[in-house]
A and B are shown apart, each in its own frame.
Chain A
Amino acid sequence: MLEVRGLSAAYGKAQVLFELDFVAHAGEVLALLGRNGAGKSTALKRIMGLLPPRTGEIRFGGARIDALPPFRIARLGLGYVPEERRIFTDLSVRENLEVGRQPPRDGAAHWTPDRLFELFPNLGRMQDRLGGRMSGGEQQMLAVARTLMGNPRAILLDEPAEGLAPIVVEQVALAIRELKAQGLCVLLCEQNLHFARQLADRACLLEQGRIRASGTLEAVESLYAMV
C-alpha cells in the first residue's frame, strides 16, 4: 500500500533522515518507534509532502507521490493525523469534519459524520462545540475522525497517545484497532512502547534518522529499551 525507498530529508544543512526503506500493507499497523528527534515526525511530514522533497521514492497504491503537494496526496487517499492534533479550534466539530470531507473512494470505507459519531460516541454528543473547547482526548478523537472524512486507504498517525491520560489512551487504541479491522493501512509513530505493543503488527526502530532494526515488535522492542 505504502512503499518508501531511500527516503532522506534535511533541515537546512542538518540531515535528519538517511535512506529510510519500509513498506506498509493494507490491514496492518506498522509502528515507527524512536525517541523525539529520531526523525519519526519528519518522516511522516515528508511522506505527506509537508517538507520539501529531498531524495527517495515514495509510492502509494503503486503511484509515485514524492513530488506531489500535500493536498494531492491527501486526495489519493492518504490521511495524516499530526502529533499536535492541530484541530481547527475556531471551528465546530461538524465544521472540522467538513474540512476533511472528500468524495467517496473505491476500495475504501465511505465515512459520514453519522458513521464517525458511532465510532466516537462522545464526539456525537458535542457536534456544535468549538474545537478549542475540547479536552486533549476529545481533540485526538476529532483529529482522527477528521482525517477519516477523506475516506483514506491509509493513515499516518503521529503519537496519538502523547499527553493523554492512560484511560483515554485505551479508548484511542480501541478506535485504531477498529480501523485496522476495516482494512485500513496504519503507519503509527510512537515512542511509547506500551501503546505500540497493543497495536503494532510490525515495527521499525528509528535512531538518529536511520532505521536501526525492523521486524516483529518483540524483536525491535528489546533494542529500543536499550537506547
Chain B
Amino acid sequence: MTAASVLLQFLNGLASASSLFLVAAGLSLIFGVTRIVNFAHGSLFMLGMYAAVALAPYVGFWWSVPLAALAVGALGAVLEALLLRRLYAAPELLQLLATFALVLIIKDFALWAWGPEDLLGPRAPGLEGAVAIAGSRFPEYDVFLIACGPIVLAALWQLLRRTRWGTLVRAATQDRDMANALGVDQRHLFGSVFALGALLAGLGGALQIPREPATLAIDLQVISDAFVVVVVGGLGSIPGAFLAALLIGEIKAFCIGLGFSEFTLAVEFVVMAIVLVLRPWGLLGQMPAPVRGAGAHEPAFALPSRGALQALVAVALALCVVPLLSGGYTLVLLTDILLFALFAVSLHFLMGPGGMLSFGHAAYFGLGAYGAGLLLLKAETSMGLALLAAPLFAVFAAVVFGWFCVRLSGVYLAMLTLAFAQITWSVVYQWDAFTGGSNGLIGIWPAGWLSGKTAYYYVTLATSLAGIAAMWRVLYAPFGYALRAGRDSPLRADAIGIDVRAQQWAGFVFAGLFAGIAGALYAFSKGSISPEALAVPRSVDGLVMVLLGGLHTLTGPVWGAALFTWLQDSVARGFDYWRAVIGAVILLLVIAVPGGLGSILRARSSR
C-alpha cells in the first residue's frame, strides 16, 4: 500500500464516518433523554433516503436534502406524540419491541410506496467532479460530506452547552423526574429531542443518496452500525459518537482498502467487543446510574401447585394424541411451535430469571441448525449423531461470547449479544465454501425412520418438552436461586459469596444449549437452512414470543411462541405486507397488554 492510497482510504473513512455520525448522534441524543433505544432509527435513515430520491426530481437535489430531513423530523415528532409517549414508563424491553415494530411497519410502508427495487438518486449538482489528491481522484461530494460531520458536531455542541434548551436536555438526560418536578415540561422536551434525532437520521439518509441507492435492506444495516458507534462511543455521549464513528469508519475503509472486504461486516463488531471489555461504558461514556432494585418488581415464584402441574401434564398428553386425530399441516405447524417454544423458553431463562437481556439469541439457535447441517453434509455423520452433537456448536459459541457478555449489564449487555450474533451471521453469510453463504445449506433431511411427519413430530415433542421441563426444573434448584440472586441484587449476592459472573456465564451457556437443540430440530424439520436462521429478525422473533407470553410467567413464553408462530404462518401466507401486520399486532399488545398473555391467564386464575 502506497502513502497515496493510505491517504485516500483515510479520506474514504472520514466520508463514511460523517454519515455514521449523523445517525448515531440522533440515536444517542434520543437514548440520553428518553432512555429509549430506538430500533427504528435506521428506518428513519432509510425514509430520508427514499424521500430525498422522490423529491429530487421536483425540487432538485440541494432542496431535497433539507426537505427530506425536515419531513423525517416531523414524522419523528408524530411518532413520539402518538407512540413513544405512552412507553416512557414501560420496561426497557417493551420499548425496544415497540420501536422494532416500527421497523417492520416502516419497511412495508416503503415497500408499498416505492416498490422492492433499489432507487438511484441524483448526483449533487456543483459537486459532480473530483479533486486530485496525491495523484488520485477523490469525489468532491465526499469532501463535502467530510466537512458535514464536524459542522453538525459543533452545532449540536453549541445547542447543548449554550442554550437553555440544551441545559434542560442534559438535566433530563440525567434525571427526568427531577427536571419535571422543577417545572420542566417533558412532553415538549422529549418531543423536540426525538424530532431532532429523527431529523439527523433523515439528513444522514438524504445526504447519502449521491453515494448509494436507496434500498429496503438498509434499515437494519444502518441501525446495527449506529448501535456499534453509539455503544463504542458511550451511550448518550455526542462527542463519543463522533470519535467512535471516526474509528469505525476508518477501520472499515482500511479493511476494504487492504482487500479484506469480507471482514468489514465482522470487524466493527470485533472493535465493539474489545472496547466494551476494556471500557464497559464506551470510550466517552459514563457508568449508568445503578438501577434501583431491578429485582424488586419481579414476583416471587413459588413451587407450582398440584393443579398447575396436572394442567401441564394434560397439555403434554393432548399433544401426544394429536397425530391420531390430525395430520399434515397441523403436525408441521405444531412441530414448528414446539421447537420455537423451546427456543423461547431458553431465551426467557436468560432474560427473566437470568436477568440478561439478549438481542442475539438466534445466534445459538442458528448455530445449532448449521451444526446439524454441517455435521450431516460435510462430516457425513449419521442423522442421530448430527442431532445430538449440533447443539455443541451453540454451546461453544455461548461459552466464548458469554464470557464477554456477563461482564456487562442492561442495555450494554443486550448490545453486545447483538454484536456477537451479527459477527456469527456475517461469518456464516460470507463463508460461501463452508456454509453455503447466502444460499445456505440444503438437503438436511432426517434419516428414513424419522422422515415421516408424525415420527419427526414425536421426536420434536419429546425433545422440546424434556428441554423445557429441564429449564423450569433448574430454576427451582439452588442454581436457579443463585441466578435470581445475582439479578435481584448483585451487591448482596457478592456479599454472601455468590460468584455472580460465573453463575451468569453458566446460565448463558445453559440457555445457549437449549437454543442450539431447538435450532438442530429446526434444521431437520425444514430440510434446509439459510443465514436467516441466525439473523437479527430471528432474535427479535424470540423476544416477541417471550413478551407476547409475558416475561414474568414461566409458561408465558410457550403460549407466546404458539401464538406468534401461528400468526406468522397464517398471515405470511396470504399477504404481501405481513410484516406490517405483525408490527401492528406488537404495538397493540405492547400498549394494551404490557404484561403479556401470561398476565391475562394469571389474572383470570387469581380471580
Contacts and interface: CB of A to CB of B under 8 A. Distances in A.
B158 interface: no
A50 B180 CA distance: 9
Interface string B115-134: 00000000000000000000
B175 A70 contact: no
Contacts of A95: 167, 170-171
B167 A50 contact: no
A100 B185 CA distance: 12
Contacts of B177: 50, 70
B182 A146 contact: yes
A48 B182 contact: no
A98 B182 contact: no
A102 B181 contact: no
Interface string A45-61: 00011100000000000
Contacts of B180: 50, 69-71, 74
B401 to A, nearest CB: 33
B463 interface: no
Contacts of A23: none
B183 interface: yes
B184 interface: yes
B284 interface: no
Nearest to B168: A99
A147 B183 CA distance: 10
**Most chain B C-beta atoms within 10 Å of own C-beta, residue among A48, A50, A70, A100:** A70
Contacts of B430: none
A71 B175 contact: no
By secondary structure, the B interface counts as: helix
Nearest to A89: B174
Interface in A86-104: 86, 88-91, 95-96, 98-100, 102
Given A71-B186, A98-B164, A91 B181 contact: no
Contacts of B181: 48-50, 70-71, 73-74, 80, 82
A150 B182 contact: yes
Interface in B185-204: 185-186
Nearest to A98: B167
A74 B34 CA distance: 21
User: Interface centre among B173, B175, B179, B181, by most A CB within 10 Å?
Assistant: B181
Nearest to B173: A90
B447 interface: no
Given A82-B178, A98-B164, A88 B171 contact: yes
A88 B164 contact: no
B474 to A, nearest CB: 28
A69 B181 CA distance: 9
A210 B305 CA distance: 37
Contacts, number: 61
B174 A71 contact: no
A21 to B, nearest CB: 23
Contacts of B167: 91, 95, 98-99
Given A71-B180, A71-B186, A74-B183, A86 B171 contact: no
Most central of B167, B170, B183, B185 by chain A CB within 10 Å: B183
A147 B181 CA distance: 9
A75 interface: yes
Interface in B134-170: 164, 167-168, 170
Contact of A91 (B170, B184, B186): B170
Contact of A88 (B174, B183, B186, B286): B174
Interface in A147-192: 147, 150
A74 B174 contact: no
A78 B175 CA distance: 19
B171 A71 contact: no
A102 B184 CA distance: 9
Given A88-B171, A95-B167, A71 B178 contact: no
Given A82-B178, A88-B175, A88-B178, A100 B183 contact: yes
Given A91-B167, A95-B167, A100 B182 contact: yes
Q: Taking each of A73, A86, A88, A96, which has the highest tally of chain B beta carbons within 10 Å of its own beta carbon?
A: A88
B186 A99 contact: no
A76 to B, nearest CB: 9
Nearest to A85: B178
Nearest to B178: A86
Nearest to B89: A52
Contacts of B171: 88, 91, 95-96, 99
Contacts of B173: 90
B164 A147 contact: no
Contacts of A69: 180
A111 to B, nearest CB: 13
A70 B174 CA distance: 17
A1 B286 CA distance: 42
A165 B243 CA distance: 43
Given A86-B175, A88-B171, A71 B184 contact: yes
Interface in A25-81: 48-50, 69-71, 73-75, 80
Nearest to A81: B181
A151 to B, nearest CB: 10
Nearest to A96: B171
A49 to B, nearest CB: 8
Contact of A74 (B164, B168, B182): B182
A9 to B, nearest CB: 16
Given A70-B177, A86-B175, A98-B164, A147 B170 contact: no
Contacts of A86: 175, 178
Contacts of A71: 180-186
A146 B183 CA distance: 11
Ordered nearest first, which 6 A-B pairs have the shortest CB separation?
Answer: A74-B183, A70-B180, A86-B178, A99-B171, A70-B181, A80-B181
Given A95-B167, A102-B183, 6 more contacts: A70-B181, A74-B180, A82-B178, A91-B174, A99-B168, A100-B182
16 contacts: A48-B181, A69-B180, A70-B177, A71-B180, A71-B183, A71-B185, A86-B175, A86-B178, A90-B170, A90-B174, A91-B170, A95-B167, A99-B167, A100-B182, A102-B183, A150-B183
Interface of A: 48-50, 69-71, 73-75, 80, 82, 86, 88-91, 95-96, 98-100, 102, 146-147, 150
Interface of B: 164, 167-168, 170-171, 173-175, 177-186, 286
